[in-house]
Chains A and B, each alone.
Chain A
Amino acid sequence: MAAGSTYTPIATNTLGSNTATVTFNSFSGYTDLMLIVTGKISTGFALLRFNSDSGNNYSRTYLGGDGSSAYSSRNSNVSSNYISLDSTTVATAINQIMNYSNATTYKTVLARESATGQAQAQISLWRNTAAITQIDITAGSAGTLTAGSTFTLYGILAA
């Protein structure tokens, strides 16, 4: 069996001031990516988009718990995927961007999130076969990602 070291830190962006969008665009040569977000947002959700595509080419199915019950819902034909952040409490989101450089499949993201009062797991879809070359995390609802929030990208290479 082949063996090789991987799980490589690619870039980290810790916001020095409130910021509308965080972008990663230099991450070639891996099989999967992992994007870890810890932070806050002024309002609403953070939007996760690939290759600057803001068309209605995204969807997600998610499962969550709020301390009293479990729930599941979905969004279809929407213009982004979502990262659950909060305006008052630091939230964490771990996004596994699978097979991102493959040029024959739609792209999937497995995510685990914790925000105020809930824990959530979700699978997100980007209906495009293009390799992902740019990742944008944007504050929705014309808000901002809060200063001090951290965005870290890792690369994982398969043998």
Chain B
Amino acid sequence: MSLILGILAQSGGAAVAASSYESIATITGNTSGTITFTSIPQTYKHLQLRCILRTVNSSYTFLNYNIRVGNGSIDTGSNYTYHRLYGTGSGSGSSDGGANQSAGLLAATSTGSPDYYFAPTILDILDYSSTNKYKTMRSLGGYDLNGSGGVYFQSFLWMNNSGIDTMQFNVGGASPETVGASHFALYGIKGV
């Protein structure tokens, strides 16, 4: 259940008040290099990133954007871990990574796949502004190319107590250009 739907369930299925979920910023269109959100307000309880991505790299049909976060600056240390449950359409599996310098959480098709195919991911960043706990995230994403594809359900840990005010995404240092209709949309969810 997504974060938002968890809230829905807790409220007995009633609609969430529109004012509790706010659009913070969106990065869209043709981007090159690393994608970075800075100065993320610390006034929300949770964050949600909604992406739909396609990159320019004809050598691949699919790529995975890594994430790094920080407070004031990006943490480039080996302070990230993840666990992944995935399905390829013909099999399923699980993998993990410990003490990495980043973790791949966002799916993206690439220009090695036919035109018009994009990959969505929804990433929930829980209690991101807390200063007394390590930060956890979860994502659901994937791609379908009508005959191939994958679904990825992942958890992510940043081993730092600081509030997150900066997030950065790239593809293994390759930082490919995104295709026009791609976007990274960041939302804040209020708490009480």
Given contacts A98-B50, A123-B120, A123-B142, contact A63 B86 (CB under 8 A): yes
Q: Is A152 within 8 A of B15, CB to CB?
A: yes
Q: How many angstroms from the CA of A152 to the CA of B119 in the assembled complex? A: 24
Count of A interface residues, CB-CB < 8 Å:
53
A and B contact pairs by CB, cutoff 8 A, 9 listed:
A34-B4, A59-B145, A98-B118, A106-B116, A123-B143, A125-B144, A156-B187, A158-B28, A158-B183
**CB of A104 closer than 8 Å to a CB of B:** yes
Q: Which residues of A contact B (CB under 8 A)?
A: 1-9, 12, 31-32, 34, 36, 38, 59-64, 70-74, 76-77, 94, 96, 98-99, 102, 104-106, 108, 110, 112, 121-125, 127, 129, 150, 152, 154, 156-159
Count of B interface residues, CB-CB < 8 Å:
60
**CB of B10 closer than 8 Å to a CB of A:** no
Given contacts A6-B22, A60-B144, contact A72 B120 (CB under 8 A): no
| Complex: chain A residue closest to B94, CB-CB | A70
Give per-residue flags for B134-167: 1 if the beta carbon is below 8 A from chain A beta carbons, else 0: 0000001111111111110100000000000000
| Complex: chain A residue closest to B43, CB-CB | A3
Q: Is B188 within 8 A of A106, CB to CB?
A: no
| Complex: chain A residue closest to B28, CB-CB | A158
Q: How many angstroms from the CA of A102 to the CA of B141 in the assembled complex? A: 19
**CB of B87 closer than 8 Å to a CB of A:** yes
Q: How many angstroms from the CA of A25 to the CA of B50 in the assembled complex? A: 23
Q: Is A61 within 8 A of B89, CB to CB?
A: yes
> Given B87, B120, B185, which contacts A71 in the complex, CB threshold below 8 Å?
B87
**CB of B174 closer than 8 Å to a CB of A:** no
Q: Is A110 within 8 A of B87, CB to CB?
A: no
In the assembled complex, the CB of A65 is this many whole angstroms from the nearest CB of chain B, namely 9
